[in-house]
Chain A
Amino acid sequence: MEQTTQDYEPPQKIFTCNLCGLATPFTYYGQKPPNTRAIVLLEECFVTRDPFNPDKEKFLVLGSNCSLCSNTVCVGADCSLFYTKRFCMPCVNKHLDQFPHQIQTELAKKKQSSKAAVP
């Protein structure tokens, strides 16, 4: 019964965003999260169970790899963007001109508002 110090649980697999550092355990990587029936993801994703939903079978996509530089990033708007594929923010900025106008203005707006919020 007595535990020894070595008796640790195997650590969970952790997803870590290489940009913002968000780290949280994930349970699945791929395009077809388990127990989600008809759901297909359009990219290979790090997935966990949605902790904010009482239904055990609801999933939550945490992040994926950038389609250009393969950097692991979270789906947060500050770190990546999905537009037919996943792009990390540095890659988006690098190729900003190739993105549609709507996205460009949106990003510009966001940049401004976040700047305004800082001071």
Chain B
Amino acid sequence: MDPDSRSRDPDSRSRDPDSRSWDWDRPQCRAQMDEIFFRQHDYIPAGSPEHADFWAFFERFQRFKMKKDVSGCGGSRKEERDEGKESRKSSAAKVDIGLPQEYDARYRINVSVCTRDVEERLGRSEQGGRRSSAGPGSQEVTDCRLALLHFLDFSQRQSFGKLAKLRREQKNLPIFQYRDRIVDLVRRHPVVVVAGDTGCGKSTQVPQYLLDAGFSHIACTQPRRIACISLAKRVTFESLNQYGSKVGYQIRFETTRTAATKLLFVTEGLLLRQIQQDGALAQYQVVIVDEVHERHLHCDFLLGVLRSLLLSRPALRLILMSATINIKLFSSYFNNAPVLQVPGRLFPIQVIYQPIPPEEQVSRSEKMDPRPYLRVLQGIDQRYPPEERGDLLIFLSGVAEISTIQEACQVYATHTRRWIVLPLHSTLSLAQQDKVFDIAPPSVRKCIISTNIAETSVTIDGVRFVVDSGKVKEMSFDPKAKMQRLQEFWISRASSEQRKGRAGRTGPGVCYRLYAESDYDAFAPYPVPEIHRVALDSLILQMKSMSLGDPLSFAFIDPPPADRIQTAVTYLKEQGALDRHSELTSIGSLLAQLPVDVVIGKMLVLGSLFNLVEPVLTVAAALSVQSPFLRSAQHNPDCTTARQPLHSSQGDPFTLLNTFNAWVEVKGERGGGSRKWCRRRGLEEQRLYEMVNLRKQFKDLLKSHSLLESEFSAPSGGHRSQRRERLTERRKLHQLKRDHEQQEGSRRKVLRLEEGQEGESSSGSDGEETGRGKKDKDGSGQNMDIQEVKFKLRHNVSELQEAASSSQDLSSRQHSLLKLLLCRGLYPQLALPDEHNSTRKDTEQVFHTKNKHGVVIHPTSVFASDPEVLHVPEDETGHTAPDRRDSSRHQLLAFVTLLETNKPYLSNCVRVPALQALLLVANSVDSNSDCTRLVVDGWLELELRDAEGALKVLSTALTLRTDWERLLLAQLGKGTTGGLGGPGVSRRDMEKLSEGLVRFLLYTEVSYSLRRLTAFQTQNLYIGPQPEQDPSQTQTANLNPLFPGVEAKPDPVKGGLRVTGFFTYNCLADSRDLYSECLRTFWTCPNCDLYMPLTPLERMQHEASCRPAAELQQEGEPENGKASSSSASSLTRVYHCDVCDEDLSLTSTEILKHKRQHMYSAK
């Protein structure tokens, strides 16, 4: 075949009578070709993406051919041919490699394809080029065939090019040379430490080396979720498994793991949870712990756990990967494990020390002086021509500092038009965080002002200049004040080097240190590990649930101080998670499995008892994620107005609850329209997605512990057609998710110069879509929000809506019950409003916790903008003494966090009625003899005006608490026995209890004063142990119907009588009257016909055991047979009367009567 004849002049088409009707652009013509080359069983079937690619390629190919023909290569052809002949002659002496004489590009393609034209030619050997009237002629077929071959060749080259590039990059990584060494070390040693600096490639390559060497079941931990995802993605790509599941990740709510997964990236926390469930960690052969030098709490703990696990699993391989920081520590912790040190790949970085002159240094209360930073910007502009690219990264300690410097830099940037200023910190919206990866236009540099988030978590390429303030804000825990503290510190030398290194990732760079070299030398070598800084409650709880023995003797790599552990143990005991012997309680073992703070876990368990699961789930989830309310939107009046309806004067958890419910409502109605809804309110939607995921996880956990009935309502109900519809919808969503995953990344925008100048939120003007379904019509999913897709895949929106609406229309009774549950969960995190708050300005309201006086409410809280709701109403019956205010409306705040930044702030607060809440949740309530004076937890003093009322309140509370405790234990018992054992909690018991609690909360009208004890008062609080006890009193002490089996004993420390675990009677050193404890007053029991003189204690005891007659009868009904017999037996007890010398089975009241009988007769 003559190649020349194929590439015909396009004009010749019109001359050829056969092809007059042939037009490559006509769909019909293409369809005819498709029938020849792209049949359904061909390599490229019509309709596939490659098919579309082919026709696009075809057009280019034709154009290319045309151009070549027009440029008249024909003339030179002959010459070439001659030349070729000549050269061949000259080399005749050599071997003839047998190449054809004529050049044809076709010869360069090593593929042949057997399509219909070939089949036909082979079948009916000569069919000729004739075709039916409008069908393609042989020429067209030949043209198309040639194009197809070139297309195949082109695709091969493209894919191979990618592969070659990938392999080249892998080979160029510093770690590549150590590949065999690493595999060899891992084969020979149980533990290997791989140390390498940024850019050496350890995180992506080491797992692959092990995979390639034949290891499977590899887990690689990361401190951050985001790193799990991005590493899994990268390694999947590099190991050519983009479309398989050999490599996957697993984080809290998401996993790509399948049975085929051999390498799994997980968070440290998640691996710990896996160990909690599977102590031998049998599912893995290799565990790689990455970034060990960061010394996160989980990581340090994980290392300790793995270290002991190695003893029982000698075949397990452990690889620690670290920056070249403190390597010896890790090696020696693991029995001098071998260390492989890999050089990093950093370009040289020039370090310039520019200490801030004293006059520009910040004093504590002032804003930062931006001049040192502006000088760096100016210096860069003067020294480096704008066409030399390279961005600037400034490290500051916190958000306030960032906005100060950002403001100043923006002024400079607007003036010079050479900078785009971008902030970067974790409270920014994700979209705003993402901007730092976008590209600046030519001759403009990005100036990224960041917290230490850019030190390790976020890596931005293209940074050439770094400014290091040398400061960092770190969270620490103050065990004395029970307070988190965010304080500014000098960084360590290791952090300082890490910051510097950010300038040399893509080329040589410069690092400006705004401190002196002597400062640098004085820095600590390494940052303080997290385990030394934070509260250890959750860690200790987890250790207990993993049966790791005494936390004090656990071999941590760097053990926390013993008193810190002790603080945590004490705290867990206070919370009821550990018992007196520091063993897990049943609630504690449940809490250990919840990936949240103990207080929030408690709320969940408490909520499961009452009919308040839905709102409690939401509140618990909301309190466990970052606030969805963006700080930046607070100063935007439009946002504030739009948020107003969401606010609840009950407290922040209720505002969050409202917000979540409203969002779910919007999601149900408008789907993707919720994004706009959130933007208008200054809400970060991501947080709401996190909430809904967390909520689901909580719900599943409660179900798996039988604390929640798994509803059997079949969500797949409805007609077959509906079900099918849902199925197709799901399939569509899955496709959308896959598509999104495929096109993700590498779509960086170019920033506009005005980027930084715009206000932080672009809300307001754009109206919300109200027409429902509008999005679905015109968007056809193309720009559908991927979060929305995932949301729909994961959750049943209508079910959520139901839950939302049920928790939206809470009655005031349910409201107060929910508040009580939150309060009990949060206890002992309570704060008392200062008594003079009503005379102070709104911004100067002060509160006190037990351990920290003078705290304030965080400005984001509802109570910061509306403090009056916490004040004691003025109209209450006034002052009995100048320093004493009586009211029945005192309130306390239960709070989630106490965090000190520039001031100690309370956040996420809820208000509760003080007396009722304290009596129902406090661990320690002490009274005087007539119970008019109560001291709670040794710091709050309540004085009740009326002794009669005081007794009533106290005894109601005692009864309610007993019932509550009993039901809670039954509920938890149900969980531990797998839902089959105990009788669980009957609906009626539960309703009766909630009714009682609500009535107590809402209708207790007792006037009292509330104040905090002074230090002096606390010292002389108790009467202390009394040497001599009145014998008649010890008798009554044995009558303890509140907790049958537990004897009321004199309290060895406080004195008085310990009536229940939390209530000690008459132990307060109360000078006023010494005899009232023995003073009997006549009293009529409202439930029985008892009328006799009783001491306060006797009366309480009677009330605790005496039930209304109606109630007792009810309990006798057959459906409740079991419960009644147990409750009846709990009321009567065997009493041995010394006088009669007889064993009597009596209720406590009867015992009293009986004894009284002897007393009177003795007289």
Contacts and interface: CB of A to CB of B under 8 A. Distances in A.
Contact of A2 (B109, B164, B315): B315
B164 A101 contact: no
Interface in A7-56: 7-12, 20-25, 36-43, 45, 48, 50-56
A100 B523 CA distance: 69
A112 interface: no
B315 A82 contact: no
Contact of B217 (A3, A39, A40, A42): A3
Nearest to B83: A101
Interface residues of B, number: 59
A3 B100 contact: no
A83 B99 contact: yes
Contacts of B163: 22, 24, 51-52, 60, 62
15 contacts: A11-B212, A22-B167, A36-B43, A48-B240, A51-B159, A52-B163, A53-B159, A54-B242, A60-B159, A60-B160, A61-B110, A82-B110, A84-B100, A97-B88, A98-B97
Given A10-B214, A61-B156, A76-B160, A42 B111 contact: yes
Contact of B160 (A11, A21, A40, A61): A61
B111 A102 contact: no
| 8 cross-chain pairs, A with B, having the tightest CB-CB distances, nearest first | A8-B214, A51-B240, A100-B103, A38-B114, A3-B285, A101-B80, A1-B282, A97-B87
B97 A95 contact: yes
Nearest to A23: B167
Contacts of B749: none
B415 interface: no
A35 B848 CA distance: 75
A114 interface: no
A100 B111 contact: no
A113 interface: no
Given A56-B243, A99-B99, A100-B99, A24 B167 contact: yes
A8 B317 CA distance: 13
A51 B43 CA distance: 16
B111 A41 contact: yes
B160 A102 contact: no
A117 B167 CA distance: 20
A24 to B, nearest CB: 7
Interface in B256-283: 280, 282-283
B160 A38 contact: no
Contacts of A4: 315
A88 interface: no
Contacts of B84: 100-101
B995 to A, nearest CB: 52
A91 B97 CA distance: 10
Contacts of A61: 110-111, 156, 160
Contacts of B108: 81-83
A43 B167 contact: no
A100 to B, nearest CB: 4
A83 B107 contact: yes
Contacts of A84: 98-100, 107
B316 to A, nearest CB: 9
A73 interface: no
Contacts of B317: 5
Interface string A86-115: 110001000101111111000000000000
A48 to B, nearest CB: 8
Nearest to B164: A76
Interface of A: 1-5, 7-12, 20-25, 36-43, 45, 48, 50-58, 60-62, 64, 67-68, 74-76, 81-87, 91, 95, 97-103
B162 interface: yes
A99 B243 CA distance: 40
B1030 interface: no
B80, B109, B167 interface centre (most CB from chain A within 10 Å) = B167
Contacts of B217: 3
A26 to B, nearest CB: 11
Nearest to A91: B97
Nearest to A37: B43
B216 interface: yes
B308 interface: no
A50 B282 CA distance: 34
Contacts of A85: 97-98
A79 B243 CA distance: 28
Contact of B103 (A39, A42, A102): A102
Contacts of B109: 42, 82
A81 B99 CA distance: 13
Nearest to B80: A101
B903 to A, nearest CB: 55
Nearest to A43: B110
B112 A42 contact: yes
A105 B171 CA distance: 31
B703 to A, nearest CB: 28
A95 B84 CA distance: 13
A29 B121 CA distance: 29
B214 A37 contact: no
A64 B111 CA distance: 13
A57 B40 CA distance: 13
Nearest to B190: A5
B115 interface: yes
A5 B160 contact: no
B91 interface: yes
B130 interface: no
A9 B313 CA distance: 20
Contacts of A10: 214
Contact of A97 (B90, B156, B283): B90
A68 B94 CA distance: 13
A72 to B, nearest CB: 15
Given A76-B164, A84-B107, A39 B113 contact: yes
A9 to B, nearest CB: 5
Contacts of B315: 2-5
The CB with the most chain B CB atoms within 10 A, among A36, A45, A55, A83, is that of A83
B736 to A, nearest CB: 15
Contacts of A7: 285
Given A8-B214, A38-B113, A54 B243 contact: yes
Given A3-B315, A21-B171, A22-B167, A40 B97 contact: no
Contacts of A21: 171
Contact of B110 (A8, A38, A50, A86): A86
Nearest to A105: B80
A95 to B, nearest CB: 5
Interface string B208-219: 000011111100
Contacts of B11: none
Contacts of A55: 48, 50
Given A1-B283, A5-B317, 14 more contacts: A1-B282, A8-B215, A24-B167, A37-B41, A38-B43, A38-B114, A40-B112, A41-B110, A42-B111, A56-B243, A64-B110, A74-B160, A75-B156, A82-B110
Contacts of A43: 110
A40 B214 contact: no
B812 interface: no
Nearest to B238: A51
A68 B99 CA distance: 12
A10 to B, nearest CB: 7
B96 interface: yes
A48 B160 CA distance: 11
A85 B96 CA distance: 13
A95 B99 CA distance: 11
Contacts of B96: 98
Contact of B80 (A1, A64, A97, A102): A102
A43 to B, nearest CB: 5
Interface in B1026-1060: none
B184 interface: no
Nearest to A10: B214
A23 B212 CA distance: 11
Q: Which of B96, B164, B215, B283 has the most CB of A within 10 A?
A: B164
| Centre residue among B43, B216, B242 by max chain A CB count within 10 A | B43
